[in-house]
A = this chain, B = another copy of it.
Amino acid sequence: MKNLEGKAATIRDVARLSGVSVGTVSRSLNAPDTVRPDTLGKVRAAIKTLGFQPDARAQTMRRRTTMTVGFVIDDIANPWHASCFKAVDTEMRAHGYSLYLMSTNGRASQEAAAIDMLQHGRADGVILTLNNEQDSRTIARLKELRIPSVLLDRELPLEIDAVLTDHATGLRQATNYLIGLGHRRIAIITAGSDIRPGRERVRGFVEAFEQSGLPAPKDLIRSQSLSVDFGFREASALLQMHERPTAIIAAGNRILVGVLRAIQQQNVSIPRDLSLIACDRSDVALLYPGPITLIDRAVEEIGRTAAQLLLERLTGQSSRPAQRITFPTHLILGGSCLPAR
């Protein structure tokens, strides 16, 4: 609806039409119990005939709050991230917030740019997964950040809330399971040591061997990146080794896609020729001719928790110390592993 000049009606138009002051109209909207019923009626009638809706820009300006939160990730085409986003979105939306989604495509520069963008009144908070825990630009910006933030699966020497996963235990269990099946040449392909999941997964992997009194197969640890390409490249190389691994742990859901591509290309049969364990459920992991044994975790809960941590800072006056919440993993047996021959 428009006023006489053809522009959207403002609170002033409502005030004029209902014969009250702008202050009263504002209170009618935001604190209706402080305004007399008959006045409220007049105001509401005017609002209805004018089709008035408060202007979000002006509210943001005056209230100093945008009701918007940034969600910064590598790549939304990663199904784990997509699920996580959904969980965060559901929780935040229930509290009136909307989400900016920013894909950084694995580039630290875009990460820094995203944080810059979100500052200075564009968002009230951020939830983010860094590509790299060492990038100085990003860390510097995070330290100066004037809005609350939550890290997803990352660890920084800063006072920032974080939601983590106990990857080490997950990998230890998975590796133990394979060792129990008689496997010794077990390979792991995962992220580099520059992010927590990479470090923790390798740690769990090595610990499992140590606890069994076996030497960890150092030549089969491929820890560098979570990308499809890295998974493909390393799996291809592993499968062509002289003393080929009898099992591969594809620790990362994009890595899994690359690994499966290599497996397909080299005509390897799962689980006959090779046992396989994946991380995180995805269409591919659940379907690949038979469900793949995988290290699962509760994405929805993780996302919801991150949102709740942020909401505590956003809505509450709570300025508690930074909190780290760690979620467990669960080994889900599929059909992709057989005893070693």
Q: Given contacts A99-B101, A121-B57, A264-B287, is CB(A76)–CB(B66) below 8 Å?
A: no
A101 to B119, CA, bound (A): 19
Complex Cα distance A68/B57, Å?
A: 12
In the complex, A140 has a CB within 8 A of chain B? no
- Which of B101, B119, B283, B289 makes the CB contact (< 8 A) with A264? B289
Q: In the complex, A60 Cα to B100 Cα: how many Å?
A: 16
Residue of B nearest to A61 (CB): B61
State the CA gap A99–B261 with chains docked (Å).
Answer: 33
Report yes or no: A98 in contact with B98, Cβ–Cβ below 8 A. no
* B89 near A82: Cβ-Cβ < 8 Å: no
Tell me if B77 and A66 are in contact (CB < 8 A).
Answer: no
List the B side residues contacting A64 at CB < 8 Å: 57
Size bracket of the A interface: 35 or more
* A295 vs B119: C-alpha distance when bound (angstroms): 43
Choose from B53, B99, B119, B257 the contact partner of A53 (Cβ within 8 Å).
B119
Complex Cα distance, B262 from A286, in Å, reads 13
- A85/B101 contact (C-beta < 8 A), A146-B8, A284-B283, A288-B287 known: yes
**Are the CB atoms of A57 and B60 closer together than 8 Å?**
yes
- Which residues of B lie under 8 Å from residue A264 when comparing CB positions? 287, 289-290
Task: From A64, A89, A98, name the one whose CB has the most chain B CB atoms within 10 angstroms.
Answer: A98
Instruction: Let me know if A192 is at the binding interface, CB within 8 A.
Output: no
CB-CB nearest in chain B for A122: B56
Say what secondary structure dominates the interface of chain A. mixed
A79: interface (CB < 8 Å): yes
A86 close to chain B: CB less than 8 A: yes
Chain B residues with CB under 8 Å of A108's CB are none
A53 touches B86 (CB 8 A): no
| CB-nearest residue of chain B to A120 | B53
Question: Using an 8 Å CB-CB cutoff, how does the interface string of A273-288 with B read, 1 for contact, 0 for none?
Answer: 0000000001110011
Q: Which residue of B lies closest to A82 (CB)?
A: B77
Residue in contact with A76 in the complex, picked from B53, B86, B117, CB distance below 8 Å: B86
Q: Are B287 and A55 in contact (CB under 8 A)?
A: no
Q: In the complex, what residues of B have CB within 8 A of residue A98's CB?
A: 100, 102, 117, 122
**Any B CB within 8 A of the CB of A32:** no
Say yes or no for A58: interface residue by CB 8 A criterion. yes
Q: Is the CB of A58 within 8 A of B89?
A: no
A299 to chain B, nearest CB (A): 10
Q: Can you report 24 A-B residue pairs in the complex whose CB atoms are below 8 A from each other?
A: A8-B120, A53-B120, A55-B120, A56-B121, A56-B122, A57-B57, A57-B60, A57-B61, A57-B64, A77-B83, A82-B82, A85-B101, A89-B101, A89-B103, A98-B100, A98-B102, A101-B101, A260-B287, A261-B287, A264-B287, A282-B283, A283-B284, A284-B284, A288-B288
Report the 5 A-B pairs with minimum CB-CB distance, sorted nearest first: A57-B121, A56-B121, A101-B101, A61-B61, A77-B82
